[in-house]
């Protein structure tokens, strides 16, 4: 059976999420307060659109919230998103609720109130900005474990201080390991005595706090 997803609030986020979820085979319903936005959303194939305030029980009822498997609250306001998730959980028995929040200090509170998954847009965006602005050296960095751990690809160039050194000779912080070295066509799992060469791409697994230090140690930047 196809899973049913309910998207509440936000135009841009709802539009791109809806498009991607429908492609993956979900049944998606979007609730939006703005009539003009609803008209544009309705152009997406097989998306059900409801015009109304998603913090009101009768609107959620109209959107068949009781049949939804996942409810995602995307609105601008933290309080609205909290109420949406609480209504979905308590009144409509939705299995999984997801809320976007602006204030990172409220993450724990939202969990405590029974919201299953809390995504803090502010910390996510500042994280990405920091990466883009201060870590040009990293090709890709993926946050996992609620953003506390990240996996990063670090390219090593001729000028990097780590070139020619064995892994155990490099003074890496405690909470960082080099999980893999991508060398030309080969992928290798390094040991302490593996020597790093220019052109290597190191795959780092690290705590978010130590990542920058480790990258500086390896690349000099």
Partner 1 sequence: MLSGGIKMEIFKNNKKDRDYTIIIGCGRLGTGLADSLSDRGGNVLVIDNDKDAFRKLPPSYGGLTLIGDATDIDVLHEAQIKNANAVVCVTNNDNTNIMIAQIAKELFKIEHVIARLYDPERECVYREFGIATICPAVLSANEIRKLLGNAKKEDEVE
Using the rule CB under 8 A, which residue among 2, 23, 24, 105 binds partner 1?
105
Q: Within a 10 A sphere around the Cβ of 31, how many other Cβ atoms?
A: 30
136 interacts with partner 1 by CB under 8 A? no
Q: In terms of CB distance, is 84 or 215 closer to partner 1? A: 84
Q: In terms of CB distance, is 51 or 55 closer to partner 1? A: 55
- Report strand pairing: 27-32 vs 48-51: parallel
Among the listed ranges 66-74, 77-85, 132-140, 144-152, the one in contact with partner 1 (CB under 8 A) is: 77-85
Among the listed ranges 4-12, 105-113, 131-139, 204-212, the one in contact with partner 1 (CB under 8 A) is: 105-113
Q: Which residues of 94-106 are buried (b: 16+ CB within 10 A; e: fewer)?
A: bebbbbbbeeeeb
**Which tokens hold the place of 131?**
């990466």
| DSSP assignment string, 17-69 | HHHHHHHTT-EEEEEES-HHHHHHHTTSTT-EEEES-TTSHHHHHHTTGGG-S
Q: Which residues contact 108 (CB under 8 A, 6 or more apart)?
A: none
86 interacts with partner 1 by CB under 8 A? yes
Using the rule CB under 8 A, which residue among 45, 58, 142, 171 binds partner 1?
58
Rounded to whole angstroms, how far apart are CA atoms 24 and 39?
23
Using the rule CB under 8 A, which residue among 55, 97, 141, 150 binds partner 1?
55
107 interacts with partner 1 by CB under 8 A? no
Rounded to whole angstroms, how far apart are CA atoms 35 and 133?
38
Q: In terms of CB distance, is 82 or 119 closer to partner 1? A: 82
Using the rule CB under 8 A, which residue among 20, 39, 91, 188 binds partner 1?
91
106 interacts with partner 1 by CB under 8 A? yes
- What's the distance, Cα to Cα, between the start and end of the chain in Å? 51
Rounded to whole angstroms, how far apart are CA atoms 151 and 78?
29
Using the rule CB under 8 A, which residue among 20, 90, 125, 159 binds partner 1?
90
Site string for partner 1, 5-24 (x = CB under 8 A): --------------------
Positions touching partner 1 (CB under 8 A) are 55-58, 77-80, 82-83, 86-87, 90-91, 103, 105-106, 109, 112-113
């Amino acid at each position: 059976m196809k899973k049913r997803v309910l998207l509440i609030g936000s135009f841009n986020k709802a539009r791109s999420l809806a498009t991607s979820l429908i492609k993956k085979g979900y049944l998606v319903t979007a609730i939006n307060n703005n009539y003009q936005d609803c008209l544009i959303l309705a152009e997406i194939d097989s998306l059900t659109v409801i015009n109304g305030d998603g913090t009101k029980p009768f609107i959620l009822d109209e959107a068949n919230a009781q049949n939804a498997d996942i409810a995602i609250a995307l609105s601008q306001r933290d309080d609205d998103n909290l109420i949406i998730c609480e209504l979905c959980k308590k009144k409509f028995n939705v299995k999984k609720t997801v809320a976007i929040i602006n204030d990172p200090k409220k993450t724990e509170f939202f969990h405590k109130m029974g919201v299953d998954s809390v995504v803090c847009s502010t910390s996510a965006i500042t994280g990405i900005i920091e990466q883009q602005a201060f870590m040009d050296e990293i090709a890709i960095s993926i946050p996992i474990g609620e953003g506390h751990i990240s996996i990063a690809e670090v390219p090593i160039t001729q000028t990097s201080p780590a070139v020619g050194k064995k892994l155990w000779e490099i003074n890496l912080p405690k909470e960082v390991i080099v999980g893999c070295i991508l060398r030309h066509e080969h992928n290798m799992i390094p040991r302490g005595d593996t020597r790093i060469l220019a052109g290597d791409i190191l795959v780092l697994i690290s705590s978010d706090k130590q990542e920058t230090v480790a990258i500086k140690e390896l690349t000099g930047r």
